[in-house]
Structure 1
Amino acid sequence: MTLSPLTSPLLDGVTHGFFTREGGASTGVYAGLNCGTGSSDQAEVVAVNRARVAEAMGVKALAGVHQEHSAAAVVADLEAKPKADALVTATPGLALTILTADCQPVLFADTQAGVIGAAHAGWKGAVDGVLEATLDRMEDLGADRAHVKAVIGPSISQRAYEVGQEFLERFMDEDPEYGRFFVNGVDGKYQFDLVGFGLFRLRAAGVAEAEWTGHCTYSDPARFYSYRRTTHRGEADYGRLIASIRL
């Protein structure tokens, strides 16, 4: 099976892809294109999967970061893998990558300035400012956020994202207006619109355009890994999806 990355017309002219789990060498609960070096999958199989992604992106190696749900954004470096949740570059041929399994993978491009970025934006990173930090680092390299287009890839949708009262209060304490990203669920729970929140933060930060590809990771097990779905099924571990962009 060949790789089947999803792309967005907003990023036309920039090589990019939100890769699904199709076309990978992993088996069992990881079946498919598991690119997570932090998973318990066989390291050599993950390396095969990542090599397939690199080939699809037209590069020999992939730049990434050691993700930890932070708001840190850094300039990409193939020789280092710092603790951060976003990376940027103005170097042609350098493929940025982010791993997710329900959190938002966000790809950015200012084609006029020749600057790109990639961010891992779960709820914590998003509320703490990882998307804005990515734009700041892009501007350090000469980008203009008014020219930046941003695309959110496959993420958990509101209908699948049940949260409790404490989670709601974390957002309400930040800004009471954030209540609009929650709707009542069952048994006193709420449903959180992570993607809607991400789009709001991107647009409020001043990007030219922002969109979501419209794919829910939880609801499509054939194509996407999902941490929450794995938890609900009582599985031991889960694969990680990869998103990549390069000039």
Structure 2
Amino acid sequence: MSGVEVIRSGLLDGLPHGFLGRRGGVSEGVVAGLNVGLGSKDDPVAVSENRRRAAGAVLPGATLVTVHQVHSATAVIAEAGPDVARPHADALVTDRPGILLGILTADCAPVLLADRAAGVVGAAHAGWKGAIGGVVDATVALMETLGADRGRIAAAIGPCIARTSYEVDEAFFRRFCEADAENERFFADGRAGHHHFDLEGFVAGRLAAAGVTRIEALGLDTYADEARFYSYRRATHRAEADYGREISLIGLPGQEVTP
């Protein structure tokens, strides 16, 4: 395949960051492309090479740090270390140059955050469980412990499943409305007993409620754009044996950190 495609946010311009899809990798079959999922059934050698390519496309020489994602609201301060020691969490923050934060998605919303003045960055994996549970709120709060100010934080929401592609049932709808009646605005009517959920809009709303005033939503649908993105829901609808994961990255330039 051709070179790695890096999708960038105007709000984060000048910082090493990017939302990556499936273009530019070495994986084959149903996960063809830049699959970085350690939990996939893909060849581990291919996954390792894809992770190397992804990191190199955003911040060459940096140490990639990811977490074992569990759809939680847990955010942690990134520590360089082996992949087998990844903490169970869904967001990372750092103020250390040379560390590259990575969040994996396949329909969930990746969120990259930065307070340039404080030199603090964060990355969050916001699926619906983490989003309603408060993962972006936890990320912003943890960034503040490193010196960030939520009033200065800029946040970008990358490729995720769009409302037109995200049909949910009545129980899902009620769960969100019972948590907050205002959440009804993130749903549109679907076929009988179903609704369409705006995950991207909901995450943007949570960021705004947390005091983040500069938010960019890229509006890219992982489900609909098979050429560019992996999608868990698309793979499930097709009864495919596996699905790939894309990665979103942000870091601070500087000296490489040795695990």
* TM-score interval, smaller chain: over 0.9
2:73 is the alignment partner of 1:68: no
Greater Cα offset, 157-166 or 50-59: 50-59
Higher alpha-carbon deviation: 73-82 or 93-102: 73-82
Corresponding residue for residue 40 of structure 1: 41
Identity fraction in percent: 56
Q: TM-score, normalised by structure 1?
A: 0.98
1:85-234 mapped onto 2 (5 Å cutoff): 85-234=90-239
Cross-structure match for 1:13: 14
Correspondence for 1:245 among 244, 247, 250: 250
Q: How far 1:124 sits from its partner (Å)?
A: 0.5
Aligned AA (1:15): P
User: Could you tell me how far apart the structure 1 residues matched to 2:159 and 2:47 are?
Assistant: 20
5+ residue gaps, structure 2, are: 253-259
Structure 1 stretches of 4+ moved >3 Å: none
Paired positions, count: 247
Equivalent position to 1:59, from 49, 58, 61? 61
Is the Cα contact below 8 Å between 1:116 and 1:245 reproduced in 2?
A: yes
Amino acid at match of 1:65: V
Q: CA deviation at 1:93?
A: 1.4
Q: Name the Cα RMSD after superposition.
A: 0.8
What SS does structure 2 have at the residue aligned with 1:146?
coil
Provide the rounded CA distance (Å) in 1 between the counterparts of 2:171 and 2:121.
Answer: 35
* Matching residue of 2:23: 22
Q: Which amino acid aligns with 1:30?
A: V
SS in 1 for 2:6: coil
Deviation at 1:60, TM superposition (A): 4.6
Instruction: For residues 8-48 of structure 1, give each alpha carbon's deviation from its aligned partner in whole angstroms, at most 9, with x where no partner exists.
Output: 11001210010110000000000000000011101111001
Q: Does the 8 Å CA contact 2:62/2:99 hold for their aligned counterparts?
A: no
Q: What is the TM-score of this pair, normalised by structure 2?
A: 0.94
Answer yes or no: is the 8 Å Cα contact 1:59–1:95 preserved in 2.
no
User: Which runs of no fewer than 5 residues in structure 1 stay unpaired?
Assistant: none
How far off its partner does 1:211 sit? 1.3
Question: Cα deviation per residue 1:68-109 (whole Å; 9 max; x = unaligned)?
Answer: 000000000112411000000000111000000000000000
Deviations 1:173-221 (A, max 9, x none): 2111111111110132100010110111101111130111111000100
Does the 8 Å contact 1:59/1:94 carry over to 2? no
Kindly provide the CA deviation profile for residues 44-71 of structure 1, in whole angstroms up to 9, marking residues without a partner as x.
1100100111222213531011100000
